[in-house]
Amino acid sequence: QQIDFQDVTLITPTAAMSAAVHGGRAKCLQRLIRLGMPVPTTLALSFDAVLQIAKGHLPDLAAMLDPFGPSPLLSVRPSSQDPDWGGPGAILNIGMNDESHAALSKRVGEAAATALYVRFVQSYAIHVVRLDPDVFDFPNLSDASVLRAALETFEAEADEPFPQDVSVQLSEVLRSMARAWDGTSARLLREAKGAPVDAGLGLVVQALALGVGADESGSGVIQFVSSATGQPQIIGRYLSQSQGREALNDRAGAIYLTSDPRGPALEDISPDNFAALVSYGAIARTRLREEMQIEFTLEDNVLHILDAVRIQRSSRALVQIAVALATDEVIPREEAVMRVPPNALSEMLHRQVDPSAIRDIIVRGIGASPGAATGRIVLTAAEAQASAARGEACILVRRETTPEDIRGMHAAQAVLTMRGGITSHAAVIGRGLGVPCVVGASDLTIDRKRQEIVAPGGRRFASGDTITVDGTTGTVLAGAPDMLEATLDDAFQTLLAWADDFRDIGVRANADTPADAQTASNFAAEGIGLCRTEHMFFEGDRLGVMREMIFAETADDRRVVLDRLMPMQRADFVKLFSIMDGQPVTIRLFDMPLHEFLPYDKAGQRDLAEQLAMPVSIVTDRVQALSEYNPMLGMRGVRQGIAVPEIYDMQARAIFEAVADVAGRGLPVQPEIMIPLISAMREVELIKGRIDAIAAAVQRETGVSFAFKLGVMVETPRAALRAQDIVKYASFLSFGTNDLTQMTYGLSRDDAGRFMSAYVQQGVYEEDPFHTLDLDGVGELLAIGAARGRAGRPDVVVSICGEHGGTRAAIGFCRTQKFNYVSCSPFRVPLARLSAAQLAL
Ligand code: PEP
Ligand code: MG
């Protein structure tokens, strides 16, 4: 059935065409034609036309073939809206038949003509008639007997002679390509790349530039920057007497483009055409505003431009190209900022498994901290430290990590856990340290007896075996695949500096240690939005002191022990203030249940009894006394501050003495003290009373006067609901969305991993709410809290510091709610700066 097609368009400089109707390739070809490039005659079939063809209708083939003249040779290529969505492979040499074979033999020699014909029979048989590729495997294309064999095999397999009529050939090619687009695998592939369900396919039919001939003929591709680095460099290959992209497949026969000591080059054998290509490259860059790879053919030394596509690029090249185009004023800076997806930065900030490396995946989990690292398996924190002391790279594998593992995590190159989700201890610490981390690899078990880990399929890896943790993809790999190093080049810095000009929300970092603070400062964070002070109780011999404090009988005894911790904390704070150089540093007071400082196993408890010179029964009694049914809702956060005020007093003094030290030396400092887990105004009032008194005392003692801010974390629903009262004593509200999510859902952040995938798979939750901020529920509490806080204190500073803080969705939400800043892991700061800019543009 033949219908009247409106949508077969001869591509001319003025034809009405668009990527949304005819696809990206067709539109690009029109641009090349407009730019004066020698593109062979080309027709564009719109998405609608292709849809009709898939349904069995056909265009007026005689009219279609008319622009190509008598006995044409043609190619057909896909033209999806976004070239990245792919499409069926190109088919070349349509029109080859006995007659054109004879004519062509006279022009270009029999061998070349035969090769073209055989190749067409092959691809027609395999891709159009869908015959078995094996029977069409003819190695010697240009042999006349092979041509006979190909035609006979076709006839035998297809039950009909090879079609000689070009309109039959073309209509069958069009039909098969149109149908291929509808196939399940093509659909899944393009949807994985972000194509909509109803994405259309256009096709372009182009007069074939032969690439074979008496005078210099051949084909090649050229690009003008490196796909790996984005730096200017002419890259490509040219292959004499070839078609399409053969030059890329036949590395041995292909030659370089620019003059090269290693052998002949296109620049030498065809200097004029080479010069023309270079000038077309420059034109394409400025006019198409993109780095393009150009596909070209020489036919008897005449240059034809067949196609141009955006060059493939690594993340590093992506940034470099965007910045270079903006620097050269080809695109505005805003566009350069928009062109880089924030995740691309993450690839630059961390070592990555080389995309071309072979990946032997042992197990999958949740990628909780990006980057990849290789090392030997260790099963305890102590072994990790021992490994580090020997200078050996190790991967710490734990069922889950606890604060006791921190030093081991520091010492390890990467961390792998079986339990826990995106806000588990391992995940939070891993991100903070910039240590690659995969959590929740629940298909893995540890065989303690044999000191082995057991992966799905019963694969076993012993302690000491080498594995690689890829925290970017959430996979664990056997052995040591090739890696790509992190690169923070000038283009990266430039792009982020531009992003800062466009964004309208602040970005701070969650930083606990001087190393974190240094990272935060390197990434131009505008301060520290959350310093979790807990870790400060674990380093060096502090853990011992902390444990002594827990066993102290009276408040006075506690104070005496804590006095030994105070100078250590003060020194930590001095370092943080110095590194942050006058930018705000928000220090959160102690938030951890005390039982986490005690060993949970019998051996550890015996050890501790020995250290404290106490009967082991006292230790076990204390562990019992401190144990809670539900520690996350128990004696933590401000509740410790109220019930056991000595710890907060000590911390306040350490902070203020550090402030006095820094300010006394004439250096700028902006301290902010933050109280965790509050749920009532009176909690803030009580803590504020003690803190103000300590501030006054330190100012008196040191003779240095200083200012500080006091604020609270909003982590309980009640704190959000009562924000209007709470701001009476708090000058800032920082939403801790980890706990707030936990409490809003009534969902344990440490146990949710067990059923989260079932929930997400069945659509109960769209996504893990610990990963992606739940804008509907938790978000409403944020909006309510911010609004009520502002009602009570119009200039209250509002921010978010949960793990969501660096995500695009949360940043977008916080912008619309006019939050002052977001705070996120130091390594996410660059991504947050870029996301914030993109959201503002
Ligand atoms: C939070 O709850 O969101 C938070 C930042 O605090 P933490 O993760 O330390 O509980
Ligand atoms: Mg919290």
Name the domain boundary from 181, 207, 233: 207
Q: What tens digit of pLDDT does each residue of 456-491 get?
A: 999 999 999 999 999 988 999 999 998 877 767 899
Do 104 and 198 fall within a single domain? yes
Whether the CB of 802 sits within 6 Å of ligand 1: yes
Confidence at residue 84, expressed as pLDDT on a 0 to 100 scale: 84
Mean of pLDDT values over 278-295: 96
Confirm whether 324 is domain-assigned.
no
Confirm whether 356 is domain-assigned.
yes
Q: What is the largest CA-CA distance in the chain?
A: 107
Confidence at residue 6, expressed as pLDDT on a 0 to 100 scale: 66
pLDDT band at 354 (very low <50, low <70, confident <90, very high): confident
Q: What tens digit of pLDDT does each residue of 693-740 get?
A: 999 999 999 999 999 999 999 999 999 999 999 999 999 999 999 999
Q: How many domains does the chain have?
A: 4
Q: What tens digit of pLDDT does each residue of 633-690 get?
A: 999 999 999 999 999 999 999 999 999 999 999 999 999 999 999 999 999 999 999 9
Do 404 and 518 fall within a single domain? no
Confirm whether 64 is domain-assigned.
yes
The DSSP code for 670 is E
Q: Ligand 2: distance of its center to the CA of 424 in Å?
A: 11
Q: Which protein residue's CA is at the shortest distance from atom 1 of ligand 1?
A: 736
C-alpha span between 92 and 121 (Å, rounded): 10
Confidence at residue 397, expressed as pLDDT on a 0 to 100 scale: 97
Mean of pLDDT values over 4-23: 88
Do 144 and 245 fall within a single domain? no
Is residue 248's pLDDT more than 90?
A: no
| Rounded alpha-carbon distances, angstroms, from residue 283 to 33, 34, 267, 302 | 12, 11, 19, 19
| Residue whose pair of structure tokens reads 């431009």 in the numeric block | 305
Do 235 and 146 fall within a single domain? no
Active site residue 535: no
Do 426 and 369 fall within a single domain? yes
Q: Ligand 2: distance of its center to the CA of 734 in Å?
A: 10
Is residue 294's pLDDT more than 60?
A: yes
Asked whether the beta carbons of 170 and 65 are under 8 A apart, the reply is yes
Is residue 2's pLDDT more than 80?
A: no
Confidence at residue 783, expressed as pLDDT on a 0 to 100 scale: 98
Confirm whether 498 is domain-assigned.
no
Is residue 513's pLDDT more than 70?
A: yes
Asked whether the beta carbons of 408 and 381 are under 8 A apart, the reply is yes
Spell out the residues 6+ positions from residue 107 whose beta carbon is closer than 8 angstroms to its own: 113, 213, 214
Q: What tens digit of pLDDT does each residue of 415-444 get?
A: 999 998 888 889 888 887 779 999 999 999
pLDDT band at 564 (very low <50, low <70, confident <90, very high): very high
Q: What tens digit of pLDDT does each residue of 224-241 get?
A: 998 888 999 999 999 998
Confidence at residue 116, expressed as pLDDT on a 0 to 100 scale: 93
Whether the CB of 742 sits within 6 Å of ligand 1: no
Closest-approaching ligand to the CA atom of 678 = 2
Whether the CB of 832 sits within 6 Å of ligand 1: no
Amino acid at site 97: N
Output phi, psi for 104, to 5 deg. -70, -35
C-alpha span between 239 and 86 (Å, rounded): 25
Residues of the domain holding 69: 8-207
Ligand 1 atom, smallest distance to 677 CA: 2
Whether the CB of 530 sits within 6 Å of ligand 1: yes
Mean of pLDDT values over 810-822: 97
Determine the angle formed by the axes of helices 47-54 and 166-180, rounding to 10 degrees: 100
Mean of pLDDT values over 84-100: 93
Taking CA 633 as the corner, what is the angle to CA 630 and CA 638, rounded to the nearest 5 degrees?
140
Helix (H) or strand (E) holding 429: helix 425-433
The CATH number of the domain where 795 resides is what? 3.20.20.60
Is residue 113's pLDDT more than 70?
A: yes
Do 473 and 514 fall within a single domain? no
The CATH number of the domain where 228 resides is what? 3.30.470.20
The CATH number of the domain where 67 resides is what? 3.30.1490.20
Amino acid at site 174: L
Q: Ligand 1: distance of its center to the CA of 737 in Å?
A: 7
Whether the CB of 512 sits within 6 Å of ligand 1: no
C-alpha span between 229 and 257 (Å, rounded): 19
Confidence at residue 4, expressed as pLDDT on a 0 to 100 scale: 56
Is residue 3's pLDDT more than 70?
A: no
What's the mean per-residue pLDDT of the chain?
93
Pairing mode, strands 414-417 and 394-398: parallel
Output phi, psi for 769, to 5 deg. -70, -15
Whether the CB of 741 sits within 6 Å of ligand 1: no
Confidence at residue 348, expressed as pLDDT on a 0 to 100 scale: 83
Do 78 and 151 fall within a single domain? yes
Q: What tens digit of pLDDT does each residue of 215-225 get?
A: 999 999 999 99
Confirm whether 403 is domain-assigned.
yes
pLDDT band at 515 (very low <50, low <70, confident <90, very high): confident
Mean of pLDDT values over 503-509: 98
Whether the CB of 695 sits within 6 Å of ligand 1: no
Confidence at residue 526, expressed as pLDDT on a 0 to 100 scale: 97
pLDDT band at 754 (very low <50, low <70, confident <90, very high): confident
Confirm whether 344 is domain-assigned.
no
- Higher-pLDDT residue of 194 and 14 is 14
Q: Which protein residue's CA is at the shortest distance from atom 3 of ligand 1?
A: 736
Confirm whether 331 is domain-assigned.
no
The CATH number of the domain where 474 resides is what? 3.50.30.10
Active site residue 801: yes
Confirm whether 2 is domain-assigned.
no
Confidence at residue 778, expressed as pLDDT on a 0 to 100 scale: 97
Closest CA to 475 of 416, 423, 522: 416
pLDDT band at 251 (very low <50, low <70, confident <90, very high): low
The ipTM value here is 0.99
Q: Which protein residue's CA is at the shortest distance from atom 8 of ligand 1?
A: 738
Name the domain boundary from 289, 313, 337: 313
Confidence at residue 407, expressed as pLDDT on a 0 to 100 scale: 83
Catalytic residue among 22, 304, 425, 535: 425
C-alpha span between 375 and 481 (Å, rounded): 11
Do 306 and 455 fall within a single domain? no
Most confident of 382-391, 498-507, 606-615, 618-627: 498-507
Do 412 and 364 fall within a single domain? yes
Do 478 and 507 fall within a single domain? no
Asked whether the beta carbons of 772 and 804 are under 8 A apart, the reply is yes
Confidence at residue 696, expressed as pLDDT on a 0 to 100 scale: 98
- E strands along 452-527, which residues? 452-454, 460-462, 466-470, 475-478, 483-484, 506-510
Ligand 1 atom, smallest distance to 428 CA: 8
Q: What percent of the chain has pLDDT over 90?
A: 75
Do 701 and 589 fall within a single domain? yes
Do 202 and 251 fall within a single domain? no
Provide the b/e sequence for 285-323 (b: ≥16 CB within 10 Å). beebebbbbbbbbbbeeebbbbbbbbbebbbbbbbbbbb
Mean of pLDDT values over 6-12: 89
Mean of pLDDT values over 4-32: 91
